[in-house]
Amino acid sequence: MDLTRYSKVIVQGITEKISTQIALAMKSFGTNVVAGISPGEGGKQWHGIPVFSLVEQAVAKVGVIDVSVIVMPAYQVLDAALEAIASGLKQIVIITEGVPPLDMVKLLRKAEATETLIVGPNCAGIIVPDQFLLGTHPTRFYTPGPIGIISRSNTLTYEVAWELTKSRLGQSVSVSLGCDPIVGSSFIQWLQILDEDDDTELIVLVGEVGGVSEEVAASYISETIDKPVIAYIAGTYAPINKNYSYASYVINAIVGRKTESKIAAFEEVNIPVAKRPSDIPSLVRNSLEK
Amino acid sequence: MDLTRYSKVIVQGITEKISTQIALAMKSFGTNVVAGISPGEGGKQWHGIPVFSLVEQAVAKVGVIDVSVIVMPAYQVLDAALEAIASGLKQIVIITEGVPPLDMVKLLRKAEATETLIVGPNCAGIIVPDQFLLGTHPTRFYTPGPIGIISRSNTLTYEVAWELTKSRLGQSVSVSLGCDPIVGSSFIQWLQILDEDDDTELIVLVGEVGGVSEEVAASYISETIDKPVIAYIAGTYAPINKNYSYASYVINAIVGRKTESKIAAFEEVNIPVAKRPSDIPSLVRNSLEK
Amino acid sequence: MDLLEYQAKALFSEMGIPVLPSQKIDYPKDLKRLKIPYPIVLKSQVHTEERNSLGGIKFVENTIDAVAAAQTIFNLPIKDKYPVVLLAEAKYNADQELYLAVVLDPIVRRPLIIASKQGGIDTKTAMKSMQKVVVDQEFSPFYARRLMVKIGLEGKLIESVSYIVEKMYQLFLEKDLDLIEINPLGISPKGEVMALDGKVSVNNYALGRHPDLGSIAGKNISNNYAIKQKELKEIDHSSLSVMSNINVASSETLISDYRLKFTELQGNIGILCNGEGLTMATVDMVIQAQGKPANFLNIKLGDYLELKDRYQMFAALDLITQKENVKVVLINVIGIVETSDELITIVYEYLNKFKSIYQARIRFVFRLLGGKISKARERLLGLPVEVIENLEDAVSKAVSLSE
Amino acid sequence: MDLLEYQAKALFSEMGIPVLPSQKIDYPKDLKRLKIPYPIVLKSQVHTEERNSLGGIKFVENTIDAVAAAQTIFNLPIKDKYPVVLLAEAKYNADQELYLAVVLDPIVRRPLIIASKQGGIDTKTAMKSMQKVVVDQEFSPFYARRLMVKIGLEGKLIESVSYIVEKMYQLFLEKDLDLIEINPLGISPKGEVMALDGKVSVNNYALGRHPDLGSIAGKNISNNYAIKQKELKEIDHSSLSVMSNINVASSETLISDYRLKFTELQGNIGILCNGEGLTMATVDMVIQAQGKPANFLNIKLGDYLELKDRYQMFAALDLITQKENVKVVLINVIGIVETSDELITIVYEYLNKFKSIYQARIRFVFRLLGGKISKARERLLGLPVEVIENLEDAVSKAVSLSE
C-alpha cells in the first residue's frame, strides 16, 4: 500500500454538503487533505481547504497527488475518476453509491491499463487508525494495532473493528471494498497488499453469502498469502435468496459458481471461520499465538 | 524494423478477389504468407494458403504472427485490426482505402497502448526488394540496395523507386504510409526505423504540398537523424488549393501550420530538396559521396 | 428491472434485431382487429421461466380460437402472476434454435457474451452446452465471431449471428442493461435469423439516465407488483398512512428497493438494520440464539447519508411491524453519529404516536452503536423499547422477549 | 460534405443542444404562415463565411418587411451561390458570444476541442484568442471543463458550456464528422446558452454508414453544385453522352470527387494521372518545362483496384478534353499491370470513336510505366497519341506539342 499520513489527498466534489462533512472528518483525523475539486468554484477556500475547478490545477499547485476521494453524484463518478487518472493519480476511493455498473467496467479498463487502484464505489474506504482516513469509517471504532480488515460491507466492518478494539486487538488497516456488485479492487488485490504490509500481522476477511468473490479469495489465500487469515461470512444462517435476479442466475449457471460452498471453501484450506463478530477476537488470538 | 523474409504474415479478408491477388503477389515475391483470414471460410485452402475464420485460430496453428495485411471493406478494417491486436500482432498494414478517420483514431489509441505499428490505410505498404512485400508495390520497379524510401504517395513512390533503380541505386526498404488524412505511422516513426536499420544508408522522403506532416519531419531530421536524407515534395509549382475544406482551414488556423513553408523547412536544416523525381539519383550520389 | 417480452422486442426492433410481426393484446376482443395473418401464437406477458410448461403459450388458427385462448391465458396465473398483456405473434419455421445473451460478470468485472447451440424453451439444457467470451476490452465484432466459432457455427451463419450479438451488445451498453437474452434465436432453413423470445433486465442504478426505460419500469411495477402494492396500501390504512404521502414515482423505488432487501419469514422477531452485511450478521445471530426472525429489512442509514426521508424510515418500521406474528422488533443501527439525533427522534415519534396500538403486542430492542446512546435511553424512557449498545446483549434480549 | 445551417441545427436539436425556434423558408410566401413571433432574423442558407457582410442576413419586424427581405435574399448570390432555402429564426439577446468547435487534427491524429471567448461573426478574430484541448483518450467531460478553464470561464458557465461541448463531441463521434462548430454560442444575461449559428461537415468516407446524412448530402449537392452539374450535362450532349448513363447517386460521388481533385487552369495541356502525388509531380514538371496546364485530374487506377467503371474513365477523359483551350492531353499512368490491357482498350475506344472531333484539335501523350507498353504502342498505332515510357520524355513531348 503506497499510502502514509503524508500522502496528498484531494476530495472531488468537495462543495456538496455530504462531501464537505467527509472532507472535514478526514482532515480532523489527520489526513493530509491538500485540495478540493469543484468545477466553477476554483480559487475559493472551503473550510480551510483550497478549491480548484480541475484536478490538473490542484496538481499544478501542490505537485503529485496520491489519492482522490470521490464524493460526486453517481452519474458523474466515471468522469471524475477519469479526470483524476488523466492527472496522474494512482489511487482513487469512490464513496458514492449507485454508480452504474457499465461505468465501472469502463473505469476499470482504464484503471488496469494505467495501474490505478480503485476502492469502491459505495464503500467506507480505507482507515489506518491514528494515521489517516480515506472515506467514511467512524474513527471511534478503531485503534492502532497489527490486524488488517478487508470487507465488502460498511457497517459490518465497523462491528468487526469494534469487537477487535474492545478486545485490545488494534488494526493496521481496515478497508471496505464497497457493497456494489461491481467494485474496483477485489479481496485478492487487498490480500496481496496486506500480505506485503509491514504493519499487518493477521488479516480478517469479512464476506457475505450474497457475494461472489469470497471463495475465489479462499483458494488464493491458501496458495499465496503467508500471513494468518481469519474469515467471517455473514448470512450463513439467514434464509437469503441468493439468485434473486435472472441475470445472476444466468451468470452463476454459466460460470458454475456455487455460493453455498463459501464456508466449506475456507475450511478446506484451513482458514478459521468465525460464526459471529464476537468470535473473531479469540480466533485472532489463537492464530497469533501459533 | 522487426521484419525479415521469415516473418509470418497473414492476410485478413483473403477470399475477396483483390485480396487474393495481393496475397498471391506477396507470396510469389517470397513473403512468408502463412494464413488468410475469412470468417466462415475457416478450414479451406485458398490457392495454397490455409484459411481461418479467426486470427486467434491462425495463431494457435502457426504460432506468433508478425504482420497482418488487411484488405477488408473499409467499415470492417477497425474490427479486423483490433482482432489482430487482440491476438498479439504488433505490425499491421492496411491497404484498404476509405477507412473513416474516427475509426483510425480509435485504432491508433489502441495501437499506441499496445505498441503496435500501423501502416496505412490507403497505402502500398512495405517492400524490401528481393526479400518480401507487405502490400501492393509493383515489385518490378525495385532492386536491392542501400536507399530507404518513405512516402505519403503510392504511384509517386514507384516513380521515385524506378528513377533510383534506373540509376543503379537499389533500395533497402520502401514504405508508403498511406494517402488518407489520418494514417497509422508517421514520417517521424519511419525516419527513426530507417535510421536504425543496418541496411539503409540514406533516406529519401517523398512528400506532398497538400500534406501537413512534412515540415514536422524536417525539424525532426535535423535534430535526431544521423543518416543523410533527401527530400522531394510534389506540388510546389502546381497551383493547389491547400485549404479546400473549412475543417482544414480551422485546423490550420488553430495550430498555426503553414503549408507553404515546406521546402524552406527542409532547406533551412540543410536537407537537399529534389525538384523532380529525375533529380533524386544525383542528389543521392552527392550525399553518399560526402 | 425486468422488461416483458413485448417491451424487449420493441427494443430489439429499434436496434435492427429482426423480430416477427406482432401485436400487443390488452383485451381478448383486440384479437378481432388482428393485423397478423393466422396461424399465430399467443403468449402470456409475465416474468417467469416456466411460462410454456404452465400453459402460458398457445398456438391458434383463427379468431374464435384466439379469443378463447386469450381469455384462458388472461385468467391463468403463472407463479401467482396474472398477465396484464398478451403478445400475438406470427409463427416462425425455425430449423435450428440458438441461445444468445450478454451479461455482466461481477468477478471478472467485464461483460460476457454467451451462446449455446441448444437454444429453446429449456434454459437449463441450453446452459449445459454454453460457451462464453469475456469482452475484456471495448467491444468489437470479433468478440462475437470468436463466440460463434466456439459454439461451432460455420459459413455465413458466423457473420449473421455475430451481427445479432453485436446489436445485443450495443443495446446492453446504450441502455445500461444487467442482461439481454435472446432464446431462442430461430434460424430458418435459408439461414435467416429471428429473435423468437427475449429478455431484457435494466440496471436499477442507471434507470435515472434512461427516461424511456424508466417509464416502462413504472408501468411494469404498477402491473406486476400489484399484490405488493396492495399489501402496502393495507398498511397505510391500518397504521401509519405514510404511504399515501408518497407519490407514485417514489413509491416505486421504495417498493423495488424493499423487494430486494425485505424478506418475510415465519418467526416472530422483526429485524431492521443499516447495511446488508450487518443485516445478515444480525439475522444469523438471532437464529444462532434460537430466535425466529419474522422478517428482515436493510435500510440505508449512515453518517453522511442524509436521513432525507423520514417517511421512508416510518415506512420501514411499518413494514417490520405490520404482521400479526411479530412480537419483538430488533433495530440494529451502527456508525451513525451526525444523524443519530434524528433517528432517535423518529423512533421516539413512531413509538409514541402508536403506543396505544403496539404497546400490548410488540416490544422493541434498539441497538445503537456509535450514536448518542445515553441520549437515546433518556429520550425513549417510558416507551416499549430497550436501548442496548452491545450487539450480543441486544440479540439475547430480543430473543428472550420473543419467547 | 458540409451541411447548411438549418440542417446543422436540426442535428443540434436532436442532440439536446439548445437552438432558437426557427422555420425553413422555401418561398417568400411561406413567411405568411410564420409560427415564430416577430422580430425575426432571415438568413440565406449558403456555405460561405461572408454571408453577413455580403447581405445574406436581415432582421425584420413584420410580415411585409419579411417577404420583401426574403425576396432580396433569394435573389442575392453569395460568392456565386444562390440560396435554395432561407432560415427564419427568433432573435436572441446575447450578453456574450463564444466560439466552440470539434475538429480532427491530422498530425496528432486526435480530435481537438477548441474554443474562444471572442465568438461571433468574424471567425478570424475568434481564431486569435483560440484555445485547444487534445482529446487524447476516449472523450470524457473533463476535457471540456479543461477547455472552459483555459478560455477563462468561471462559475456555473464552466459546466453549462462544457455540457454543450460534450454534446458536440457526441455528435462528432456518432455522425463521423470532420468538423462541428457553434459560432456564436450566445450566453444570455441569465447565463443560459444558445447555439446561434452552426457548421457541420460530414466525413465523406463515413457517409455510407449514415444514411440519414447521405440523403441530406444528396439534396445539398443537387442544390449547390447545380452549376457544376450543368457543365457536366453540357459535356454529355456535346461529346460522350456517358454522364446520362450514370444515375443520380453515382454522379454525386463522381462530382464531389472531381470537385476535390479536378482543377481548371488557363493553359493548354490537360493532365490526367493515377495518384495525387503523381499528379502534383507531373503538373510541376510541365510547369518547369515551360508548359501551361489547362487542368489536372487525379483518377484512381491501380493494379488491384478494379477498373470497375469504364464510364468513369470516359468521363475523366471528357473532363480533361472538354475545354476549347486544351491542345494536348498528357495521360500519366504508373504501376498498373493487371489492368493495363483494359486501360489501353479504353484509350483506344475513346480516341477511335471521337477521332473525327479531336484529331484536328487535340494531341495525346500517353505515358505508361509498368504496363504493357509495346502492346499499347501497337494497339494505338494510327491514333493521335504518342506512347512513351519515360516521364521526362513524355512531359517534353507534351510541352513541345502544346507550343
The three-class DSSP label of residue D63 is helix
Q: For cell 502514509, name the residue.
A: A4
C137, C141, C158: residue with CB nearest B79? C141
Is B277 at the interface with chain D, CB within 8 A?
yes
Chain A neighbors of C265, CB-CB under 8 A? 239
> Is pLDDT above 50 for B216?
yes
Residue A57 has pLDDT above 60, yes or no: yes
Lowest mean per-residue pLDDT among A210-219, B16-25, B123-132: A210-219
Q: Is the pLDDT of residue D256 over 70?
A: no
Of A186-195, C123-132, C303-312, D41-50, which has the strongest mean pLDDT?
A186-195
Chain A partners within 8 Å of D137 (Cβ): 82, 86, 110
How near does any CA of chain B get to the CA of D265, in Å? 9
C-alpha cell at D27: 418561398
**Considering only CB atoms, which chain D residues are within 8 Å of A80?**
142
Contact residues, chain D, for B98 at CB < 8 Å: 205
pLDDT in the model for residue C115: 96
d(CA A9, CA A49): 11
Question: Mean per-residue pLDDT for C334-340?
Answer: 79
Name the minimum distance, in Å, from the CA of B60 to any CA of chain D.
Answer: 31
pLDDT band at C360 (very low <50, low <70, confident <90, very high): low
Architecture of domain B137-289 in this structure: 3-Layer(aba) Sandwich (3.40)
C294, pLDDT greater than 50: yes
Q: What is the pLDDT of residue B254?
A: 79
Nearest residue in C to B103, CA atom: C140
Average pLDDT value for residue range D38-55? 85
Kindly indicate the confidence band of residue D304, based on its pLDDT and cuts at 50, 70 and 90: low
CATH code 3.40.50.720 for A9-119: yes
Q: For chain D, which chains pass the contact test of at least 3 CB pairs under 8 Å?
A: A, B
CB contact under 8 A, C205 and A101: yes
CATH placement of domain C21-90: 3.30.1490.20
d(CA B135, CA B119): 10
Yes or no: say if C385 and C364 are a contact pair by the CB < 8 Å rule.
yes
CA distances from B208 to B173, C312, D243, D297, D298 (A): 20, 70, 32, 16, 14
A251–C103: do the CB atoms touch at under 8 Å? Answer: yes
pLDDT at site C305: 52
Q: Do domains A9-119 and A137-289 have the same CATH topology?
A: yes
Residue A39 to residue D140, Cβ atoms within 8 A:
no
Quick one: pLDDT band at residue D307, thresholds 50, 70, 90? Answer: low
Chain B residues close to C154, C-beta within 8 Å: 40
pLDDT of residue B256: 66
Could you tell me what percent of chain C has a pLDDT over 90?
A: 57
Structural domain spans, chain C: 21-90, 96-202, 234-402
Split at pLDDT 50, 70, 90, the class of B133 is very high
Lowest mean pLDDT among B85-99, C222-236, C295-309: C222-236
Asked if residue D251 has pLDDT above 50, the reply is no
Measured CA to CA, the distance from residue A44 to residue A48 in angstroms comes to: 9
Question: Cβ–Cβ of B141/D370 closer than 8 Å?
Answer: yes
Give B117's contacts in chain D (Cβ within 8 Å): none
Residue C186's alpha-carbon distances to C97, C121, C195, C200, D357, in angstroms, are 5, 12, 6, 18, 63
Query: Which residue is closest to C308 within chain A, CA to CA?
Result: A18
Band (A102; pLDDT cuts 50, 70, 90): very high
CB contact under 8 A, B155 and D105: no
Answer whether residue C227 shows pLDDT above 60.
no
pLDDT exceeds cutoff 60 at D248: no
With cut-offs at 50, 70 and 90, classify the pLDDT of residue A174: very high
Is there a common fold for D21-90 and D96-202?
no
Contact B64, B90 (CB under 8 A): no
Q: Which residues of B touch D132 (CB under 8 A)?
A: 254-255
Quote the percentage of chain C above a pLDDT of 70.
85
List subunits contacting chain B, requiring 3 or more Cβ pairs under 8 Å: C, D
Note whether B258 contacts D: Cβ–Cβ < 8 A.
no
Instruction: Answer whether D142 sits within 8 Å of A55, measured CB to CB.
Output: yes
DSSP for C101-138, please give it. EEEEETTTTEEEEEEESS-SS-HHHHHHT-EEEE--SS
CB contact under 8 A, C156 and B110: no
* Mean pLDDT value of segment D258-286: 83
Mean pLDDT of all residues in A118-143: 96
Which of A52-56, B15-19, B252-256, C72-76 ranks highest by mean pLDDT? A52-56
Chain D positions touching B120 (Cβ under 8 A) are: none
For residue A69, list its beta bridge partners. A11, A93
Residue of A nearest to C274 (CA): A155
Distance CA A92, CA A116 (A): 8
By CA distance, what is B141's nearest residue in D? D370
pLDDT of D259 over the 80 cut: no
Cβ-defined contact of C277 to A18 (cutoff 8 Å): no
Q: Which residues of A touch D149 (CB under 8 A)?
A: 42, 53-54, 57
Of D110, D206, D285, the CB nearest to B276: D285
Continuous H helices in C175-306: 211-224, 226-238, 248-261, 276-288
From B29's Cα to the closest Cα of chain C, the distance in A is: 30
Is residue A155 less than 8 Å (CB to CB) from chain C? yes
Of B51, B126, B55, B49, nearest in space to B84 by CA: B55
Residues D197 and D9: beta-carbon distance below 8 Å: no
Cβ separation of C276 and A208 shorter than 8 Å? Answer: yes
ipTM exceeding 0.85, yes/no: yes
Distance of residue D214 Cα from the nearest chain B Cα, in angstroms: 15
Model confidence pLDDT, tens digit, residues C7-48: 999 999 999 999 999 999 999 999 989 999 999 999 999 877
Which residues between 30 and 59 in chain B have a beta carbon less than 8 angstroms from any beta carbon of chain D?
none
For the cut 80, the answer to whether the pLDDT of residue A198 exceeds it is: yes
A55 to D157: CB separation less than 8 angstroms, yes or no: no
What's the pLDDT score for residue B211?
Answer: 63
Q: Could you tell me the pLDDT band of residue C302, with boundaries at 50, 70 and 90?
A: low
CA dist D272 and D373 (Å) reads 18
The pair phi, psi for residue D278, each rounded to 5°, is -65, -40
Among C107-116, C230-239, C253-262, name the one with the lowest average pLDDT. C230-239
Q: Is the pLDDT assigned to residue C245 strictly greater than 80?
A: no
Chain C residues close to B41, C-beta within 8 Å: 155
User: Are the beta carbons of C149 and B80 separated by less than 8 Å?
Assistant: no
Q: State the smallest CA–CA distance between residue D278 and chain B in angstroms.
A: 5
CATH 1.10.10.60 fits D234-402, yes or no: no
Contact C159 B78 (CB under 8 A): no
Q: Which of D179, D265, D274 sits opposite B155 (nearest CB)?
A: D274
B148 or C229, higher pLDDT: B148
Ranges of H-type helices in chain A:
17-28, 55-62, 77-86, 101-113, 155-166, 187-196, 214-224, 246-255, 262-268, 280-289
A216 touches chain D (CB under 8 A): no
| Percent with pLDDT over 90 in chain D | 57
The CATH superfamily label for domain C96-202 reads ATP-grasp fold, B domain (3.30.470.20)
Report CB contact under 8 Å: B234, D104.
no
B79 in contact with C at a CB cutoff of 8 Å?
Answer: yes
Q: Quote the mean pLDDT of chain C.
A: 84
Whether residue D281 and residue B235 make contact (CB cut-off 8 A), yes or no, is: yes
Residues of B in contact with D112 (CB under 8 A): 251, 254
Query: Is the per-residue pLDDT at A209 higher than 60?
Result: yes
- Range in A164-168, A244-248, D266-270 with the lowest mean pLDDT: A244-248
Report in angstroms the alpha-carbon separations of B223 from B271, C40, D107: 12, 76, 19
Question: Would you call D146 and A54 a contact, using CB atoms and an 8 Å cutoff?
Answer: yes
Q: Among B54, B76, B114, pick the best mutation site for testing chain C contact (most C Cβ within 10 A).
A: B54
Could you tell me which chain A residue has the CA closest to the CA of C335?
Answer: A138
Q: Chain D: residue nearest B235 by CA?
A: D280
Asked if residue A277 has a cis previous peptide bond (ω within 30° of 0), the answer is no
Sequence ranges of the domains in chain B: 9-119, 137-289
Written in H, E and C, the secondary structure of chain B is: CCCCCCCCEEEECCCCHHHHHHHHHHHHCCCCEEEEECCCCCCCEECCEEEECCHHHHHHHHCCCCEEEECCCHHHHHHHHHHHHHCCCCEEEECCCCCCHHHHHHHHHHHHHCCCEEECCCCCEEEECCCEEEECCCHHHCCEEEEEEEECCCHHHHHHHHHHHHCCCCEEEEEECCCCCCCCCCHHHHHHHHHHCCCCCEEEEEEECCCCCHHHHHHHHHHHCCCCEEEEEECCCCCCCCCCCHHHHHHHHHHCCCHHHHHHHHHHCCCCEECCHHHHHHHHHHHHHC
pLDDT greater at residue B200 or residue D315? B200
Quick one: pLDDT at residue C218? 63
Contact criterion met (CB < 8 Å) for B42 and C146: no
pLDDT at A275 over 50: yes
In D, minimum Cα distance to A53 occurs at: D149
B140 CB neighbours in chain D (<8 A) are: 337, 370
In terms of pLDDT, which residue wins out, C208 or A260? C208
pLDDT reading at D255 higher than 70:
no
